[in-house]
Amino acid sequence: MNAGKRTGIIFIILAALTFSGCLPAAAPEAVPEPTEAPTALPSHTPEPTPSPTPEYIGVWQGTWNVWAGTPGESDEIVKIQKIDFMVEGNRVSMEMLMAGENRTVEAEISDDGVTALGSWRSEDGRSGTASMLISEDRLEFAGNLDGEVDFCGSRSQTERPSPCFTEITGNWDGKWTVWSGAEDVEIVMVLQQEGNEVDVMIYDISGTVSEDGRTLTGEISEMGFTGKLEAGLLDNQAQFTGNVSGIIPFCGARPGGPKPEPCIGP
């Protein structure tokens, strides 16, 4: 190859190399940055809403004028005392003087505040039962000690409430104030329970009590009512709600206690 051709080939090669060096370098391929998986938020379990605490203090706590003694004895025995009732939780307590001795009374208040059932004890260790049933206006209570001694009180009056004595036996036996019909006719009934059978003195009403003692079913033919009777004893043991033929209200309370609301039940 002659020198001229060799020189031309070398020139072309050098030019090509020079041109390729002037081209921009290829951009490196982008590497995606790693992404973190989103962290799942912990699920929130709502705390259960606590049941409302009954307001017992406004019902029973405070200063009461109290009478206690055996029915039929003189007012010197069944006399007035000013006593402070103290409430803690669902319990009410007080100290009173009776028959020349100090007695402490403690009772458990029902969920609806209507009754307080418990016991008394004296300084010498003797003890017995105590029952109280508050009135509809919450200004008086009727009750008993040992099922036979008057035990009642008033927030402001200095005259003994009437009735002062009332029974709270946990069954159907005894005296009841009864409301019935759309007109809320109010009468007094005396129920006689023997075993599971119940009869009503004077009135044409009879029935049978359930095994747990809470439900009374039977028949009534009085006061313009004729039909099937159904009634249920409330947890406070001093009230019941019921109906005649499923539509007529029929309810009751131990003497001195408030009418159940609603009356129709159970």
Q: How many residues does the chain have?
A: 266
Give the three-state DSSP class for 42.
Answer: coil
Phi, psi of 135 (to 5 degrees): -80, 170
Is the preceding omega at residue 50 within 30 degrees of 0, hence cis?
Answer: no
Taking the C-alpha atoms of residue 234 and residue 112, their distance in angstroms, rounded to an integer, is 10
Q: Do domains 57-154 and 174-253 have the same CATH topology?
A: no
pLDDT of the chain, 266 residues: tens digit per residue: 544 444 444 343 334 434 444 444 444 455 555 555 555 555 555 565 555 555 666 789 999 999 998 866 555 567 889 999 999 999 999 999 987 889 999 999 999 999 999 999 999 899 999 999 999 999 999 999 999 999 999 999 999 999 999 999 989 999 999 999 888 889 999 999 999 999 999 999 999 999 999 999 999 998 777 899 999 999 999 999 999 999 999 999 999 999 999 999 98
The DSSP letter of residue 90 is T
| pTM of the shown model | 0.76
C-beta of residue 167 within 8 angstroms of C-beta of residue 175: yes
How far is residue 84's CA from residue 249's CA, in Å, rounded to a whole number?
38
Q: How far is 164 from 161, CA to CA, in rounded Å? A: 5
Output the pLDDT for position 225: 76
Task: Outline where DSSP puts E strands in the chain.
Answer: 62-69, 79-88, 91-98, 101-109, 115-122, 127-134, 140-145, 149-154, 174-180, 185-194, 197-200, 205-209, 215-222, 225-233, 239-244, 248-253
For the chain, the domains span 57-154, 174-253
User: Which numeric CATH code is attached to 174-253?
Assistant: 2.40.128
pLDDT at 32: 52
∠ Cα 161 162 163 (to 5°) = 115
Torsions phi, psi of 21, nearest 5?
-70, -20
CATH class of 57-154: mainly beta
Name the percent of the chain in helix, strand, coil, to the closest 5. Answer: 10, 45, 45
